[in-house]
Amino acid sequence: MATGSGKFSTLYPVGGLRLGTASAGIKTAGRKDLVLMEMAAGSTVTGVFTQNRFCAAPVMVAKRHLQADASRYMLINTGNANAGTGEQGVADALKCCQAVADAVDAQPQQILPFSTGVIGEPLPVDRLLAALPSAIDNLSEQGWAEAAEGILTTDTRPKGASLQFDINDAQVTITGISKGSGMIKPNMATMLGFVATDAAVNEELLHRSVRLATEKSFNRITVDGDTSTNDSVMLIATGSSGVEIDESTFEVFLAQLTEVFIALAQAIIRDGEGASKFVSVIVEGAEDTQEALDVAYTIAESPLVKTALTASDPNWGRILAAIGRSGVEDLDVSKVQLSLNSVLIADCGCRAASYTEAQGQQAMQSEDIEIRVALNRGQATETVWTTDLSYEYVRINAEYRT
Determine the interface stretch with a second copy among 21-29, 155-163, 321-329, 366-374 (rule: CB under 8 A).
Answer: 321-329
Alpha-carbon span 234 to 257, nearest angstrom: 12
Nearest distance in Å: CB 390, a second copy: 6
Chain residues 229-248 in contact with a second copy, contact rule CB under 8 A = 229
CB 79 within 8 A of CB 122: no
Nearest distance in Å: CB 370, a second copy: 19
Q: State which amino acid sits at residue 212.
A: L
Determine the interface stretch with a second copy among 94-102, 126-134, 180-188, 193-201 (rule: CB under 8 A).
Answer: 180-188
Alpha-carbon span 254 to 92, nearest angstrom: 36
Alpha-carbon span 114 to 94, nearest angstrom: 11
**Residues ≥6 apart with Cβ < 8 Å to 269:** 184, 221, 223, 275, 278, 385, 386, 387
- The answer to the question of residue 12 lying near a second copy (CB under 8 A) is no
Q: State which amino acid sits at residue 369.
A: I
Q: Which is nearer to a second copy, 143 or 314 (CB)?
A: 314
Q: Which is nearer to a second copy, 311 or 358 (CB)?
A: 311
- The answer to the question of residue 125 lying near a second copy (CB under 8 A) is no
Element (H, E) at 338: strand 337-340
Tell me what percent of the chain is helix, strand and coil, each rounded to the nearest 5.
35, 25, 40
DSSP string of 254-323?
HHHHHHHHHHHHHHHHHT-TT---EEEEEEEEESSHHHHHHHHHHHHT-HHHHHHHHTT---HHHHHHHH
| DSSP 8-state class, residue 152 | -
Catalytic: 190?
yes
Nearest distance in Å: CB 200, a second copy: 36
CB 282 within 8 A of CB 368: no
Determine the interface stretch with a second copy among 168-176, 284-292, 314-322, 365-373 (rule: CB under 8 A).
Answer: 314-322
Nearest distance in Å: CB 329, a second copy: 8
How many chain residues interact with a second copy (CB under 8 A)? 67
Q: Which of 46, 153, 190, 227 is catalytic?
A: 190
Q: Which of 104, 331, 344, 380 binds a second copy (CB under 8 A)?
A: 331
Determine the interface stretch with a second copy among 63-71, 178-186, 209-217, 235-243 (rule: CB under 8 A).
Answer: 178-186
Nearest distance in Å: CB 121, a second copy: 8
Q: Which of 155, 198, 224, 291 binds a second copy (CB under 8 A)?
A: 224
- Map residues 356-395 to x or -, x wherever contact with a second copy holds by CB under 8 A: ---------------------------------xxx-xxx
Compute the half-sphere exposure of residue 3: CA atoms within 13 Å on the CB side of its CA. Answer: 24
> What is the C-alpha radius of gyration for the chain, rounded to an integer number of angstroms?
22
Determine the interface stretch with a second copy among 136-144, 154-162, 171-179, 328-336 (rule: CB under 8 A).
Answer: 328-336
Alpha-carbon span 178 to 149, nearest angstrom: 10
Catalytic (active-site) positions: 190
Contact positions toward a second copy, by CB under 8 A? 51-55, 81, 83-89, 118-121, 182-183, 185, 187, 224-229, 301-304, 307-308, 310-311, 313, 315-318, 320-325, 328, 331, 333-334, 346, 348-351, 389-391, 393-395, 397-402
